[in-house]
Amino acid sequence: MSYGFLDIAITPSVRAAQKAMGVDHIWQNFNGDRDFDRLTENEAAFIAARDSFYMASVSETGWPYVQHRGGPSGFLKVIDDRTLAFADYRGNRQYISTGNVAANDRVSLFLMDYAHRARLKIYAHVEEVALDADPELTMLVTDPNYRARIERIFRLRLESFDWNCPQHITPRFTEGEVNEAVRPLRERLAQLESENVELRARLATPGDTQ
- Give the interface with ligand FMN as residue ranges (CB under 6 A): 67-68, 91-92, 94-98
The CB-of-97 to ligand FMN minimum distance in angstroms stands at 3
Contact 88, 150 (CB under 8 A): yes
The DSSP call for residue 51 is S
Inter-CA distances, 23 with 26, 52, 184, Å: 6, 34, 50
The CB-of-150 to ligand FMN minimum distance in angstroms stands at 11
The CB-of-155 to ligand FMN minimum distance in angstroms stands at 15
The DSSP call for residue 209 is -
The CB-of-154 to ligand FMN minimum distance in angstroms stands at 10
Please identify, using beta-carbon distances, which residue of 79 and 150 lies nearer to ligand FMN: 150
Question: Dihedral, CA atoms, 42, 122, 165, 178, nearest 10 degrees?
Answer: -70
Please identify, using beta-carbon distances, which residue of 96 and 137 lies nearer to ligand FMN: 96
Rg of the chain (C-alpha set) = 25
Please identify, using beta-carbon distances, which residue of 39 and 76 lies nearer to ligand FMN: 76
Please identify, using beta-carbon distances, which residue of 38 and 90 lies nearer to ligand FMN: 90
